[in-house]
A and B are shown apart, each in its own frame.
Chain A
Amino acid sequence: MDKIKVEICCGTACYLLGAANLMSIEDEIPAEFRDKVEVEARTCLELCEKENLGGAPYVRFNGEEIMAQATNEKVLARIEELVGGAA
Chain B
Amino acid sequence: MLNGSTFIRRELMIRIVRAFDDGTLENELDQIPIKLRPKNSVASRCCVYHDRAIFKYRLMALLGVSVEDETDESKSLAAYYAEKAWGGGTNDTKPKTPLSVCGPACSGCPDAKVVSTPNCRGCFARPCVYNCPKKAISIVGGQSVIDQSLCIKCGKCITACPYHAIVKTSVPCEEACPVGAIRKNEYGVAEIDFEKCIFCGKCFAACPFAAVMERSQLVDVLAAMKRGEKLVAMIAPAAEKQFPGKIEQLLTACAKAGFGDVMEVALGAEKTTEHETAEFIERMEKDPKTFMTTSCCPAWVNLVGKHLPDLVDHVSLTPSPMVYAREIVKAKDPNAKTVFIGPCVAKRSEARRKDVDYVLSFEELGAILAGRKIDVIACEPWPVERPANPTARNYAKSCGVTDAVLTEATSKIPGFKLDAKQINGIDRKTCAMVKLYAAGKMPVNFLEVMACPGGCQNGPCSLA
User: A residues bordering B, Cβ < 8 Å?
Assistant: 10-13, 15-18, 20-21, 43-44, 46, 48, 53-54, 56
Which one of B15, B36, B366, B373 lies within 8 Å of A16 (CB-CB)? B366
Interface size class of B (residues with CB under 8 A): 20 to 34
- List 12 A-B residue pairs with CB atoms under 8 Å apart, sorted by A's residue number: A12-B369, A12-B370, A12-B373, A12-B374, A12-B375, A15-B243, A15-B244, A17-B2, A17-B10, A18-B2, A18-B7, A53-B11
Report yes or no: A17 in contact with B7, Cβ–Cβ below 8 A: yes
* Inter-chain contacts of B369 with A (CB < 8 A): 12
B56 CB, nearest partner CB in chain A, Å: 17
Report yes or no: B14 in contact with A53, Cβ–Cβ below 8 A: yes
Given A12-B369, A15-B243, check contact A20 B375 (CB 8 Å).
no
Main secondary structure of the interface of B (DSSP, over half): helix
Supplied contacts A16-B14, A18-B2, 19 more A-B pairs, CB within 8 Å: A10-B377, A11-B370, A12-B370, A12-B373, A12-B374, A13-B14, A13-B371, A15-B244, A15-B366, A15-B370, A16-B363, A16-B366, A16-B367, A16-B463, A18-B7, A20-B244, A43-B377, A46-B373, A53-B11
* Inter-chain contacts of B463 with A (CB < 8 A): 16, 20
Max chain A Cβ within 10 angstroms of own Cβ: one of B243, B370, B374, B376 = B370
Report yes or no: B244 in contact with A16, Cβ–Cβ below 8 A: no
* Inter-chain contacts of B36 with A (CB < 8 A): 54
* Inter-chain contacts of A18 with B (CB < 8 A): 2, 7
B378 at the interface (CB under 8 A from A): yes
A71 CB, nearest partner CB in chain B, Å: 11
B464 at the interface (CB under 8 A from A): yes
Report yes or no: A11 in contact with B375, Cβ–Cβ below 8 A: yes
In the assembled complex, the Cα of A33 lies from the Cα of B371 at a distance in Å of: 36
Q: Mark B24-52, 1 if CB is under 8 A from A, else 0.
A: 00000000000010000000000000000
In the assembled complex, the Cα of A20 lies from the Cα of B369 at a distance in Å of: 15
A13 CB, nearest partner CB in chain B, Å: 4
* Inter-chain contacts of A17 with B (CB < 8 A): 2, 7, 10-11
Nearest 6 pairs of A and B residues by beta carbon: A13-B370, A12-B370, A12-B369, A43-B375, A16-B366, A16-B10
* Inter-chain contacts of A43 with B (CB < 8 A): 375, 377-378
In the assembled complex, the Cα of A44 lies from the Cα of B376 at a distance in Å of: 11
In the assembled complex, the Cα of A54 lies from the Cα of B33 at a distance in Å of: 13
Instruction: For B15, give the chain A residue with the smallest CB separation.
Output: A53
In the assembled complex, the Cα of A6 lies from the Cα of B15 at a distance in Å of: 27
* Inter-chain contacts of A21 with B (CB < 8 A): 2
* Inter-chain contacts of A44 with B (CB < 8 A): 373, 375
In the assembled complex, the Cα of A11 lies from the Cα of B370 at a distance in Å of: 7
In the assembled complex, the Cα of A13 lies from the Cα of B367 at a distance in Å of: 7
* Inter-chain contacts of A20 with B (CB < 8 A): 2, 244, 463-464
A20 CB, nearest partner CB in chain B, Å: 7
A8 CB, nearest partner CB in chain B, Å: 11
* Inter-chain contacts of A56 with B (CB < 8 A): 11
* Inter-chain contacts of A53 with B (CB < 8 A): 11, 14-15
In the assembled complex, the Cα of A46 lies from the Cα of B374 at a distance in Å of: 11
In the assembled complex, the Cα of A21 lies from the Cα of B436 at a distance in Å of: 41
* Inter-chain contacts of B366 with A (CB < 8 A): 12, 15-16
Given A18-B2, A21-B2, A53-B15, check contact A10 B375 (CB 8 Å).
yes
In the assembled complex, the Cα of A56 lies from the Cα of B7 at a distance in Å of: 10
Instruction: For A11, give the chain B residue with the smallest CB separation.
Output: B375
In the assembled complex, the Cα of A15 lies from the Cα of B370 at a distance in Å of: 9
* Inter-chain contacts of A11 with B (CB < 8 A): 370, 373, 375
Q: Mark B350-379, 1 if CB is under 8 A from A, else 0.
A: 000000000000010011011101111110
* Inter-chain contacts of B14 with A (CB < 8 A): 13, 16, 53
In the assembled complex, the Cα of A46 lies from the Cα of B370 at a distance in Å of: 11
Instruction: For B9, give the chain A residue with the smallest CB separation.
Output: A16
In the assembled complex, the Cα of A15 lies from the Cα of B6 at a distance in Å of: 12
* Inter-chain contacts of B377 with A (CB < 8 A): 10, 43
B25 CB, nearest partner CB in chain A, Å: 15
B70 CB, nearest partner CB in chain A, Å: 26
B407 CB, nearest partner CB in chain A, Å: 32
Instruction: For A15, give the chain B residue with the smallest CB separation.
Output: B244
Which one of B244, B367, B371, B374 lies within 8 Å of A10 (CB-CB)? B244
Max chain B Cβ within 10 angstroms of own Cβ: one of A11, A16, A18, A43 = A16
* Inter-chain contacts of A13 with B (CB < 8 A): 14, 370-371
In the assembled complex, the Cα of A56 lies from the Cα of B377 at a distance in Å of: 18
In the assembled complex, the Cα of A15 lies from the Cα of B100 at a distance in Å of: 27
Max chain B Cβ within 10 angstroms of own Cβ: one of A10, A20, A46, A53 = A53
* Inter-chain contacts of B15 with A (CB < 8 A): 53
In the assembled complex, the Cα of A63 lies from the Cα of B293 at a distance in Å of: 56
B11 CB, nearest partner CB in chain A, Å: 6
In the assembled complex, the Cα of A9 lies from the Cα of B321 at a distance in Å of: 35
B424 CB, nearest partner CB in chain A, Å: 24
Given A21-B2, A53-B11, A53-B15, check contact A16 B375 (CB 8 Å).
no
